[in-house]
Structure 1
Amino acid sequence: MNSYTIPNDEIQAAAALLRAGETVAFPTETVYGLGADASNPLAVRKIFEIKGRPNYHPLIVHIAAASQLPAWAQSIPDAAWRLAETFWPGPLTLILQRSSQVPNEVTGGQDTVGLRVPDHPVATALLRAFGGGIAAPSANRFGQVSPTTAQHVHDKLGSRVGMILDGGPCRIGVESTIVSLAHGEAVLLRPGGLSVEAIEDTLNKKILLAQPAASKVHASGMLASHYAPTTPIEIHPADELWRRAHQLANLGYKVAVLNLSDNSKRVGSGGITSFQMPLLADEYGRELYATLHRIDHARFDRLLAEAPPSTQEWVAINDRMRRAAQGTANENKISVAGDLPAHDGIKK
């Protein structure tokens, strides 16, 4: 568990801002969240305005303990209590039938609500001081890379946020796993910081995988394009990665390469910078977003990433990389496989 704490007077000041209808960015074990009083529709709308987030895209409500579930959800199944008892506080969001007190602004007009108890001492202290639920998506511009440090929040949102609580780097670095229990069966809506196997072991049954087009429930991070850096990103198998890097570098592109294999001797030409990523999935996840922020800050023209392994522990990483690549593919009219853009110029 992250042992980082901040002075109580800062926590109390942040709680007072939330009660006044303002926003506060705060750390969780996954990423930094942009929080507002979940019971205050006007405050919640500020989240959407600051992020540029579509108002139909639902938010996750953070609560201090599972005992607060009945205030936010109804018809809570036994499976939800079992998962909450096992994994909260932690990187698991449960989608349940909303209670009558939950504003439409939080749920995107759906009859369900996402709830989670975060596992970070600063988040815990804030939730206890505030006393209510805090609606909090990631503290970034909508669709962009999530922040894992307070500096990331400051760089992207700055003075638009009422207050930023600095709780150090996030321990997990990718968002929570989202499981819906709203319609009987347990359905995985988004892989994340908690493994599917752990959930299935607790429930003693397989969970279903959501089909986004047919899903009755929409939740954070389910869009095909999400988590995208401003630098166009392509994903390639290891044996194609460096061929593509040199192809772009020879055209004058400034190229960043996220590699898992030891390919340091293959850099070989100007214009290419290699970022060696960890070989373990949890360590890779902890570093991924921070590395993407660094690459954006350095103004590379293209980011090439070595395709992560396809094993179960890499599911969340593959999900984030695929959605990030889809985002830049849409914006720049390039394919995930990496077709060259129609022009020969360098993106300025």
Structure 2
Amino acid sequence: MQTELMRPDELGIFMAADLLRSGGLVAFPTETVYGLGAKVYNEAAVAAIFEAKGRPADNPLIAHVLGITGAQECGEWTPLAQILASAFWPGPLTLIIRRKPIIPRIVSAGLDTIALRAPSHPVARALIAACGFPIAAPSANRSGRPSPTTAAHVMDDLAGRIPLILDGGPSEVGLESTVVDATGMCPLVLRPGSITPQMLATVAGECQVADSVMRQLQEGEYAPSPGMRHKHYAPMARLTLVEGEDEAVKRVLLTLAKGRADTWVLALDGELRHTEGLRFKSLGRDAGEAAHRLFYLLRQADEEGVQRIFVKALSPEGVGLAVMNRLARASGFDIIQAAEFNNQHHH
């Protein structure tokens, strides 16, 4: 199969909608990361997404809609969903509600819920509007790889596996949406993103974060949200998180990474200053910039054949929680506590 790259002009949108209508797959830009879309009502097309990605079928997909009206066709709308969607849609927030029977089980990995989002990206919106139906889409990458924030990333992973990629330039947010269980009275964050628990609490009065956000799912525990079950977002290199005070983290890195050309160290600007012999890559000035750059940097590391990546842990406040969630999963929970490590390794 030849994979075509098209500009998201009128012709591109027309071709993409035509493909989706007839059961084909299309990769398209959203404000978070690129999505790999299929018609939500077409079971065979949705199955083809799992196939193209090599994605385990116990991982639910997100149905992309234009707004609240579209969402109400797919699931049992709740007062909480109404409050959250009114405040944050269109935008990087995914709401989980009970699934209506019209949505095939495969979309939600057999669960009785459905994950819904109204994207703000003009290309995604034009495509949904041209189709006239919701588009089921996970991120447009091979399963387990860092998420794609450019059309080139999609091409790297899926060339020859899908017919069309709409190229809408780099993603603004660069990190997948916040996923919230909106079936109850209080929002429950299942996957953190750029819409933070603080922001959700502002409109809903309160907000909880699932404890699974920063730990591994146990055997036999089911995944209510995308991005929870498997080792995700991972580069080819072995990735390790280092937690602790600046000086302690420096000592760990001087022990493990000094003078190694195949090893990268990622940290926010202004951290780990004046440390000689380390190959630094900046995550940016703050957690928001780190969110935007993270997957791009992980893919760049792969292109340059980097073997080992150490990342200085961010504080899990605000968007920092989302970045740390992705890093913990990308590392397979390989986390060094700097103080402990230094105690074991001092002479």
Say if 2:59 and 2:227, in contact at 8 Å, map to a contact too. no
Which amino acid in structure 2 is aligned with residue 123 of structure 1?
Answer: A
Letter in 1 for 2:210: L
Measure, in 1, the Cα distance between the counterparts of 2:28 and 2:191. Answer: 22
Residue 143 of structure 2 is aligned to residue 142 of structure 1: yes
Matched residue count: 326
- In structure 1, give the amino acid aligned to 2:105: N
1:48 aligns with 2:50: yes
Q: Counterpart of 1:157?
A: 158
2:275 and 2:208 map into 1 onto residues whose CA distance is 42
Q: CA deviation at 1:176?
A: 0.5
Residue in structure 2 matched with residue 324 of structure 1 by the alignment: 330
Matched, 1:314 2:320: yes
* 8 A Cα contact 2:32 2:175, kept in partner: yes
The separation in 1 between residues aligned to 2:263 and 2:67, in whole angstroms, is 45
Which secondary structure state, in structure 1, belongs to the residue aligned with residue 159 of structure 2?
helix
Residues of 2 paired with 1:203 and 1:183: CA distance? 12
Alignment of 1:54-73 (within 5 A): 54-73=56-75
Counterpart of 1:266?
A: 275
Are residues 141 and 201 of structure 1, via their aligned partners in 2, closer, same or farther at CA, if it must alter by over 3 Å?
same
- Residues of 1 paired with 2:145 and 2:328: CA distance? 13
Paired residues of 1:234 and 1:337 also in contact (CA < 8 A): no
Q: Tell me the secondary structure at the aligned position of residue 46 of structure 2.
A: helix
Q: Does 1:233 align with 2:239?
A: yes
- After TM superposition, give the deviation of residue 18 of structure 1 in Å: 0.6
Question: How many Å separate the matches in 2 of 1:313 and 1:89?
Answer: 19
Offset at residue 56 of structure 1 (A): 1.7
Q: 1:21 aligns with which of 15, 23, 45?
A: 23
1:152-171 CA deviation, whole Å, 9 max, x = no partner?
11111112122111111111
Identity %: 37
Note the alpha carbon deviations across 1:98-123, whole angstroms, 9 max, x for none. Answer: 00101011011110000000110110
Letter in 2 for 1:266: T
Match of 1:100 in 2: 101
Any conservation in 2 of the 1:325–1:336 contact (CA below 8 Å)? no
Q: Counterpart in 1 of 2:114?
A: 113
| TM-score of the superposed pair, with normalisation by structure 1 | 0.87
CA separation of 1:161 and 1:80: change in aligned 2, threshold 3 A: same
Deviation at 1:85, TM superposition (A): 1.2
Counterpart of 1:163, as a letter, is L
* Structure 1 residues 215 and 89, CA gap change in structure 2 (3 angstroms): farther
Give the superposition deviation at 1:240. Answer: 4.2
Deviations 1:150-208 (A, max 9, x none): 11111111121221111111111111111112245421111112111111111122335
Distance 2:9 2:196 in 1: 33
1:247 aligns with 2:255: yes
> Structure 2-normalised TM-score?
0.87
**Aligned letter for 2:94?**
T
- 1:7 and 2:9 matched: yes
Contact 1:98-1:111 at 8 Å conserved across structures = yes
Moved over 3 A (4+): 210-217, 240-253, 261-265, 335-340
Distance (whole Å) between structure 1 residues aligned to residue 16 and residue 160 of structure 2 = 15
CA contact (8 A) 2:29 2:121 kept: yes
Residue equivalent to 2:202: 201
Alignment match of 1:295 (pick from 279, 282, 301): 301
Partner amino acid for 1:176? S
Any conservation in 2 of the 1:60–1:137 contact (CA below 8 Å)? yes
Q: Structure 1 residue 232: deviation in Å?
A: 0.6
Q: Report the 3-state secondary structure (helix = DSSP H, G, I; strand = E; otherwise coil) of the residue aligned with 1:326.
A: coil
Mapped to 2, the partners of 1:83 and 1:250 lie a distance apart of: 47
Residue identity opposite 1:219 in structure 2: S
Q: Work out whether residues 30 and 193 of structure 1, in 8 Å CA contact, stay in contact via their aligned partners in 2.
A: no
Task: Tell me what 2:169 maps to.
Answer: 168
Residue range with higher mean Cα deviation, 64-73 or 145-154: 64-73
CA contact (8 A) 2:80 2:185 kept: no
CA distance in 1, matches of 2:175, 2:149: 8
Aligned pair in 2 of structure 1 residues 188, 8: CA closer, same or farther (>3 Å)? Answer: same
Cα distance in 1 between the residues matched to 2:292 and 2:195 = 13
Q: Indicate which of 280, 291, 309 corresponds to 1:285.
A: 291
Partner of 1:256: 264
How far apart are residue 228 of structure 1 and its match? 1.3
Q: Answer whether contact 1:253 1:301 (CA < 8 A) is retained.
A: no
Per the alignment, residue 123 of structure 1 pairs with: 124
Shift of 1:293: 0.7
Amino acid at match of 1:321: L
